A and B are shown apart, each in its own frame.
Chain A
């Protein structure tokens, strides 16, 4: 019941011995994710078992390079917790090693590094989620990222979002109403991201185990509009959307590098208007995301 990741996904962690890498590897292992190896250049050959207070439930072998790690454990996914200055290099290394799914958590990667990464991704067979994202989770099976696992519930609603805590909010509203999720993808808040709304919508449209798609967008860029165009033509499943930032002033970056209204483009109003035209159900209040999804599912006789 999922896209991209499931209970058989074989994961390595780039930057596993750092503070963030250690903490989240511990959390992912607790959730049941198959973390099979780690990469920290210079620490190859070690067996790593976390730190005091976050002792891994099993030791994880550490390698100097992604290629070695991927080969040793037959990895098909990697998660990157490498600092901003070195992150692009870490992603390029993962692409070169042929890893199918790259999840980049790192925030603040320079835009000019990301143009190179994006170009390399297009010429490869790898897909990237992020950067500057919470990651991806198939509830009950596999969590690759930093989201709190316990708020999720296995089910049949797909979630795609540019945000972190707002996604958790939406997911919790769903779970509290008994609505489970097939897979939740945090695509990230930067201007250049590996998987855009349209890519994720395509995946879920083809996924037999997703009945409806919840798309959480925000001001800046036109990725929501591009996805809406696709949805209008190709998607029969109900799509529900909330767009954050109706009260955001123009020309100011609202936290996320990509959340900026520039030259009058990318306002919440214009996005909502385009989405409505594409037949997408719009949630007006962020407090009623779960309620709206429940209503749409009921009307479509899905739940």
Chain B
């Protein structure tokens, strides 16, 4: 689960992580008012106005009108996802920038051309930066430990640094039993070439981030850039947190941090029914039990000359309610021109699945061809029930046959 920068910073503040003064706003009026009351009237000369979207690359991204392909300009400059605002009258300028950003779309390397609509902004105090660094903590799967990565290449994409200059990334594992040790923190500090007050500030800073990562059950905590300032030492200038989905059950308070406007509407709907659905851009909808088989079914659709419209794992208990909901969600995607159901009955009985399909079709109307493949426990009985129902199914006798039927259906449709 992803959250916004301002939410991540609110959480980090509880761990005493040094941050700049910042406030989230949701309208241009609020932006202007807050910029005046909380920044300009308090003598702050420079603020940074940041789009709060889940995509990265905001600073280099442009804001576009919703039906336009040209970046919006203000004060003879293109409006970006992150804008530095200074030189007097900042409240007035913040209002204008907020007006240009909110409700419009931000296009970055990560959003693709479609961009993402900006609904929230974060106003943060400006600061003078001495040097920028990169810091993140992620799970190292192979080692089975959490891994701290630091680099002097702040502000850069870490994947790029890793590919081009891997020696510039310093790494330390967090020991699962003993935690991050002071000698590791010192080693990282020396590795970055820090001395004196900067080193002292770093030694205080890093353990707070490590503690936050562990206590909050993150799967990613990224501070990019982490900045060194003259007056306040190390500060988390940006903050990105992803939570470990398997840990959400022990943090019910995270539910209110979820911003469903950042997610695909159909995926939000599917999550209400505990269905694992991911929308894709093809036109063959598929419903499968088990994640690995679902991915393979998508691959088979592609090999058969079509493209999958979605990933959908209905899980083990494929009863009629689940199947009906899955059908409804899959068919809400107007791209879908054919439907494929692929169930391997292990513990689930295929005759029960067939019953579920037939019952679901009493409530959901489908005008597209439906290919069904049932295999495993009581598969014959399941297929028979579907054949005798009088409904038009394309029944596949094997996984290979599924591919043939897809090719046939696709050829007919085009």
Contact = CB atoms under 8 A, between A and B. Distances in A.
A140 interface: no
B290, B302, B307 — which one has the most chain A CB atoms within 10 A of its CB? Answer: B290
Interface stretch (B77-85, B114-122, B139-147, B362-370): B139-147
B246 A108 contact: yes
Given A84-B246, A168-B346, A244 B146 contact: no
Contacts of B289: 165
A173 to B, nearest CB: 7
B377 interface: yes
A112 B176 CA distance: 8
A82 B68 CA distance: 54
Contact of B344 (A109, A161, A168, A284): A168
Contact of B247 (A27, A112, A253): A112
A245 B299 contact: yes
Given A114-B144, A115-B144, A147-B346, A249 B292 contact: no
A245 B295 contact: yes
Nearest to A24: B347
A163 B290 contact: yes
Interface string B372-410: 000111000000000000000000001110110000000
A163 B299 CA distance: 15
A253 B244 CA distance: 11
B144 A166 contact: no
Contact of B291 (A112, A249, A259, A287): A259
Contacts of A255: 276, 290-292, 294-295, 311, 313
B146 A166 contact: no
A162 interface: yes
Interface string A162-190: 11111111001100000000000000011
Interface in A208-260: 216, 218-219, 221-223, 226, 242, 244-249, 252-259
18 contacts: A111-B219, A111-B244, A118-B144, A119-B175, A163-B293, A164-B291, A172-B375, A172-B376, A189-B292, A221-B141, A244-B292, A247-B301, A249-B278, A255-B294, A255-B311, A259-B291, A285-B403, A287-B402
B371 to A, nearest CB: 13
A218 B292 contact: yes
A116 B179 CA distance: 11
Contacts of B249: 84-85, 108
Nearest to A164: B290
B291 A189 contact: yes
A286 B177 contact: no
A165 B400 contact: no
Contacts of B159: 263-264
A41 interface: no
Contact of A259 (B139, B146, B177, B295): B295
Interface of B: 139, 141-142, 144-146, 158-159, 162, 175-177, 214, 217, 219, 244-247, 249-250, 276, 278, 280, 288-303, 307-308, 311, 313, 344-347, 375-377, 398-400, 402-403
A60 interface: no
A246 to B, nearest CB: 5
A27 B313 CA distance: 24
A288 interface: yes
Given A165-B293, A216-B292, A221-B141, A252 B246 contact: no
Contacts of B307: 247
B142 A222 contact: yes
Given A164-B292, A248-B298, A115 B176 contact: yes
Given A189-B292, A285-B403, A146 B347 contact: yes
Nearest to B159: A263
A111 B278 contact: no
Nearest to A121: B144
Contacts, number: 179
Given A108-B246, A218-B292, A192 B139 contact: yes
Given A146-B347, A192-B144, A226-B142, A110 B176 contact: no
Given A255-B291, A287-B402, 7 more contacts: A165-B292, A169-B375, A191-B139, A221-B142, A254-B294, A259-B291, A263-B162
A256 B398 contact: no
A148 interface: yes
Nearest to A217: B292
A151 interface: yes
Interface of A: 23, 27, 84-85, 108-112, 114-116, 118-119, 122, 146-148, 150-151, 161-169, 172-173, 189-192, 196, 216, 218-219, 221-223, 226, 242, 244-249, 252-259, 263-264, 284-288
Given A169-B293, A245-B295, A119 B144 contact: yes
Contact of A254 (B291, B400, B402): B291
A29 to B, nearest CB: 15
Given A163-B291, A247-B280, A287 B246 contact: no
A110 B141 CA distance: 13
B289 to A, nearest CB: 6
Contacts of A258: 141
A163 B177 CA distance: 30
A166 B296 contact: yes
Given A164-B290, A165-B346, A244 B141 contact: no
A252 B244 contact: no
A191 B176 contact: no
A248 B286 CA distance: 13
Contact of B141 (A119, A192, A253, A254): A192
Nearest to A114: B144
Contacts of A196: 142
Nearest to A27: B347
A218 B250 CA distance: 29
Contact of A110 (B250, B376, B402): B250
A157 B295 CA distance: 24
Contacts of A85: 249-250
B146 A285 contact: no
A245 B302 CA distance: 11
Given A254-B278, A257-B245, A218 B300 contact: no
B285 to A, nearest CB: 14
